[in-house]
Homo-oligomer: A and B are copies of this chain.
Amino acid sequence: MPSRRPDISNLADAVLRGERAALARAITLVESTRADHRDDAERLLARLLPRAGNATRVGISGAPGVGKSTFIEAFGLMLIGAGHRVAVLAVDPSSKRAGGSILGDKTRMPRLSQAEAAFIRPSPAGKSLGGVARRTREAMIVAEAAGFDIVIVETVGVGQSETSVADMVDFFLLLIAPGGGDELQGIKKGIVELADLIVVNKDDGDLAAAAKRAVADYRHALRLLVPADGDAVEALSVSALEERGLDRVWQTATRRLDAARSSGAFAARRARQAQAALWREIGDGLIELFRDDEAAARALKALEAKVAAGKVTPSAAAQQALEAFTRR
């Protein structure tokens, strides 16, 4: 980052013109944790926000080994072929430094990374999932203002990252794949309730039969475990390698999203996500104020040990810690 404060007005205009270098600089700015950069980022986002919001936001979660990069590249190229402009962002809180995560690694999606109508960005680094998620939501605003009409947010599914991603997208798909035996790779307890669509990859070669069986099994299982209504989770198989089935994934997504737009559910979801993000940020900010408070921190150290040992109830401990905080 240059030491001279960037001209935010010019940077915003360049982003709005769709200039790639400006887009990258703008996202680097929103990812920065320096206080002066945060101020600049807020000013930049204020200019870009009115021009954001018109993209379709798709979350994709897939464990290592299910072929996520192959899928996203093939899916992205199909969308570009249909006239879209596709940004690919990532949420990976285990990434130690910007560009250090395997997600959004351009070498794994070489064709897509070279497409003019695509923009791939690795996950921001971050100490907390909340911080990484916030930066990704802000990068999404920048990408949308720059003219990308589909934003894909990918995650490997570590910790609560799927929940974070589901909270910022309009449609969430889980990518899984047959492992060669009877088991399926990529299932994590709890993910089913987040997904709108389960995509079974590797419907090709030796695993084709297993992939098709998995789709049938999943359709049956999902009917049992998820109430049958308009929002039932669907399942289908694809071959990212042979680039088959990707159009059906998009058709499924657009069918459901069009229905959601008509019913008002789409806008309601976006409003709910924004409110939830607001209160999450408020809560995180309050906890940070609390943790930074010396008196509260001192009280807390002793209280956490007593709670773990069953010597004081969590409520009593919380009350004592809050009293130490408010007395300051």
Contacts and interface: CB of A to CB of B under 8 A. Distances in A.
- Please name the 5 residue pairs, one residue from A and one from B, whose CB atoms are nearest each other, closest first: A281-B318, A221-B221, A277-B314, A190-B193, A286-B286
Contact of A221 (B134, B225, B315): B225
A312 B281 contact: no
Contacts of A307: 274-275, 277-278
Interface string A207-229: 00000001001101110111110
Nearest to A52: B310
A280 B313 CA distance: 13
A65 interface: no
- Among A187, A190, A278, which residue has the most Cβ atoms of chain B within 10 A? A278
Give the oligomeric copy count: 2
Contact of A285 (B137, B189, B277, B318): B318
- Among A226, A284, A316, which residue has the most Cβ atoms of chain B within 10 A? A316
Interface string A112-155: 00000000000000000000001001100100000000000000
Contacts of A217: 220, 224
Contact of A224 (B184, B228, B313): B184
B227 A188 contact: yes
Nearest to A311: B49
B314 A46 contact: no
Given A286-B287, A304-B275, A307-B274, A314 B189 contact: no
Contact of A326 (B218, B289, B326): B289
Contacts of A280: 314
A46 B283 contact: no
A281 B311 contact: no
Contact of A287 (B137, B141, B283, B289): B283
A126 B244 CA distance: 54
A222 B220 CA distance: 11
Nearest to A283: B283
A127 to B, nearest CB: 16
B315 A282 contact: no
A303 to B, nearest CB: 7
A138 B189 contact: no
